[in-house]
Every structure is written in C-alpha cells, then in structure tokens.
Amino acid sequence: MADEASHWQSFWQELWLRESAPPFHLPQVNPHLIRHFPQLRLAPGARVLVPLCGKSVDLGWLAAQGVEPVGVELSPQAAAAYFAEQNLTPQITRLGPFERYEAGGVVILCGDFFELQPTVAGPFDAIYDRAALIALPVGLRRAYAATLARLLRPGGVLLLVALDYPQAQMPGPPFALTPAQVAALYPDWPAHEWHRQDILAEEPRFAARGLTRLEEYVLQLRHP
C-alpha cells in the first residue's frame, strides 16, 4: 500500500504543478451541496471535514452557512490557490504533520489525509466527500474509510457525492464506485440515496474517453 500511496501522491502533486484549473474543479458551488446541506441539519458552528478538498469553492460556501469547514489537501499549490482566488491572505502555521492555512472562516490542512489523527484535528460533526473517495484506487479505499471513520464523531453524518460507470471502459481517476462498495467500506452505517442521475450527456470529456454510462449519486451515511 505504501508504494501505491506514494505513486498517487506524486500523481496529484504533479497534476497541480501542471494545471491550475484541473477538470474536476468546479468554478461554482456544487449544486448537490446546496440542495442537500439543509437536510444534514447541522448546528451553527458544526465542524465539517472536507477531505481531499483541492481548491473547492464549496469551502467558502460552507463557512457562509455558519459551519466550520476544515479541508485537507495534499498539494500546497491547490491550498494556496483556494485563498488567492478568494482574495484572502491565509495565516500559515504548523499543525503536526500539516501546514495549516486559515482565512475567511476556512481552514485547509495541507498534507496527507492518511496522516490526519483525531487528536490533531477532530472530531468532526460532518464530512463532505465530493470526488475524494473516487479519487483513490481500490487499494487505498479501506485505509481512507478507516481514517474518515476515526475523524467523524459517533452520530455524525457523511455526505458523499460519487460516480459510477463501467470501470473496464476507462482507467481512473475518477475511479468507479458502486453503492455496494460504499456499504462494504462503511458497514453498519445507515445509508440513504438522496439523488442519482446519468450525467454522461453533460460530461463530453468522459464520453470521449469511451464511457457509455456515467451515474452521479449522492449518499447520506450516518456514523453509528
């Protein structure tokens, strides 16, 4: 697993060095987050973890809703770009193995998500996973889910936005993920599917790569 993890760390770090706006980055707030956030029923000041956050503008939107978002991102380029694009100058401090950036109600911990311990930053009331679990190959998923489960308090909620497609038609990332695979990663976590739609027609770059089906879905899971 160590070799696979370091291979993918290099992949993501090189991608952010090459591209300032990678294709997975949405310039607008994710519509599924806007739609489903009220259903999470989070209290003001709730702590929301955003693993593998990139430079997602969802972070600032979460802060504007009155919760406390904490993103975790490997690439210093992505972390710095988030704040620069919001015209914010972050305070940068050290937090364990992470560089901690903070401004505008948003914290980004820059470093390896797998090294995040609840004693360093946790526990969280909610976790928002958009394009995080599906950014990881099958071999890293168990460790990711175990890390995430340690960080979410019992009774806390996980909002997962994921993609499913015939994996044989295209190599990841993003990697295809079925709800059954999610259930195997989070056994005993009650799950509800809040949305599912084939989005291939809206994603010509995936059709061009050979996909014949691309389903996006939103799951709510609760840490027992």
Report the 10 Å Cβ neighbour count for 4.
13
Q: Residue 216 has which token pair?
A: 């996006």
144 closest CA partner among 192, 110, 182: 182
Q: Which is nearer to ligand SAM, 17 or 207 (CB)?
A: 17
Give the shortest CB-188-to-ligand SAM separation in angstroms. 25
Give 115 or 193: the residue with its C-beta nearer to ligand SAM. Answer: 115
Report how far apart, in Å, the C-alpha atoms of 49 and of each of 75, 86, 151, 212 are: 17, 19, 8, 33
Q: Collect all residues with Cβ–Cβ distance below 8 Å to 47 and sequence separation of at least 6.
A: 67, 68, 70, 123, 124, 125, 126
Around Cβ 210, how many Cβ atoms within 10 Å? 11
Distances in Å between the Cα of 190 and the Cα atoms of 4, 99, 219, 222 are: 30, 34, 10, 6
- Our finding on whether 162 is near ligand SAM (CB under 6 A) is no
Q: Give me the 47-66 binding string for ligand SAM, x by CB under 6 A, dash otherwise.
A: -----xxx-x----------
Q: Does 147 bind ligand SAM (CB under 6 A)?
A: no
- Please tell me whether residue 206 binds ligand SAM under the rule CB under 6 A: no
Binding mask 102-141 for ligand SAM (x = CB under 6 A): ----------xxx---------------xxx--x------
Q: Does 216 bind ligand SAM (CB under 6 A)?
A: no
Residue closer to ligand SAM (CB basis): 35 or 190: 35
Give contact residues for ligand SAM (rule: CB under 6 A). 9, 12, 16, 24-25, 52-54, 56, 72-75, 78, 112-114, 130-132, 135
